[in-house]
Amino acid sequence: MDFKPTEEQELMVQAIEEAMTRENLETYFQDCDKEHKHPKKWWDILDELGLFSMFLPEEAGGDGEGAVTMFLVMEALGRCGGPIYLFWDHVKADALLENGTKEQIDKFMPMFFEGKPAFAQGFSEPNAGTDLSPATISTTYTRRNGKVYINGHKHFISGAQDSDYCLTLAKNAEDPEQLTLWFVPTNVPNCKKEPMEKMGINMENVNDIWFDDVEIEESDMFSFEGNGLMATSKGFDYERLIDAFNAYGQALCAYEDACRYANQRIVKGQEIGRLQLIQNHIMEMTMRIEAMRNMLLHYAWNKDNGQLTRAEASIAKQFCSESANIVVDHALQILGGIGFCGSRVSRIYRDVRITRISGGTGEIQTVIAARQVLKKYR
């Protein structure tokens, strides 16, 4: 395995860092965070850098770049304080290409190229999070007079404010064992969506959605009837790896800010970096940053070579989400009061916490990985 970046990858990382520095985006991010606004200016830079098409499959006209390049991009964007938790929509394109009808692909695929929110994904409900099953899902679809009607309440749905559609998991009202996905319009009178209060990731919206007999067509079905839980599952491992890139990228920013601060902040006539207790924080952070980077490059290489296992994806997500939270906590401690009041490390501290919950909680990653490990030694 050789992790030395190619010349193209180096140029791309350089271009990202130059663009992020040129625009001096930190004040802008602070404003967007305070106002709970999508960072359009930053999004335009991603577009200018070609990042929306970079990871889309070649068969759809994208550049088809793989996981190692993805890691380097997330690392470069995260290092500069970018809200990289927003940059994952392109992952939905694989499932769309695999399971979508021609009409659905023609309708949504161009939006991924433009960085526009094509559709939100509505699986979770107030009583269905980790456990998505006919017993917990209460959103239903009913066929009437040649149409299909959706009723129910979806919960925690990311990006739904800006999306016209929600890919919605619902069960057949007449045959509840059938869980099926439907593209349901959300900007229609019978649908209400409301942003939820949350402790971080303020540049993203997370929503409750209520469907009250929303009328759709049979052709709005995604994949086939009864395949609702499987139609998007093939991409889960890669999504978990990307979640891990996201956690690492944010932690890297906090880590580097804290190291610089330790060299500058004078207390009792000397830089705090000379104090052994501060060096302990530096060491704790460095070990985790190094371990995350090595693990992620290794697994990204495995992904690009068709060898990423389910256990590895879960190990990466669990290790990096926990480690990132630990690193950011140490970083905030080094920054002292300014860490809590107004530095970007405060924002990262709030933003990184979700990596232990969404996209499958840490407990679930542990269950998945541990089972696979035990199987190996049976």
Ligand X SMILES: Cc1cc2nc3c(=O)[nH]c(=O)nc-3n(C[C@H](O)[C@H](O)[C@H](O)COP(=O)(O)OP(=O)(O)OC[C@H]3O[C@@H](n4cnc5c(N)ncnc54)[C@H](O)[C@@H]3O)c2cc1C
User: How many residues bind ligand X, per CB under 6 A?
Assistant: 19
Q: Which is nearer to ligand X, 62 or 228 (CB)?
A: 228
165 binds ligand X (CB under 6 A): no
Tell me the window of 150-158, 170-178, 220-228, 335-343 that interacts with ligand X (CB under 6 A): 150-158
Q: Give the Cα separation of 307 and 4 in Å (integer).
A: 20
Q: Give the Cα separation of 250 and 278 in Å (integer).
A: 21
Q: Which of residues 192-221 bind ligand X (CB under 6 A)?
A: 198, 206
Site string for ligand X, 326-355 (x = CB under 6 A): ----------------------------x-
CB-based contacts of 122, cutoff 8 Å, min separation 6: 139, 154, 157, 160, 166, 167, 168, 169, 184, 209
Site string for ligand X, 90-129 (x = CB under 6 A): ------------------------------xxxxx----x
364 binds ligand X (CB under 6 A): yes
* DSSP code per residue over 3-58: -PPPHHHHHHHHHHHHHHHHTTTHHHHHHHHHHT---HHHHHHHHHTTHHHHTS-G
370 binds ligand X (CB under 6 A): no
Least distance between ligand X and beta carbon 199 (Å): 9
**Going along the chain, which residue ranges are E strands?**
120-122, 140-144, 147-158, 165-172, 179-185, 191-195, 206-216, 221-222, 266-267, 270-271
Number of neighbouring beta carbons within 10 Å of residue 38: 18
Tell me the window of 151-159, 182-190, 208-216, 281-289 that interacts with ligand X (CB under 6 A): 151-159
Q: Which is nearer to ligand X, 354 or 369 (CB)?
A: 354
Q: Which is nearer to ligand X, 124 or 246 (CB)?
A: 124
Site residues for ligand X per CB under 6 A: 120-124, 129-130, 156-158, 198, 206, 354, 357-358, 361, 363-364, 367
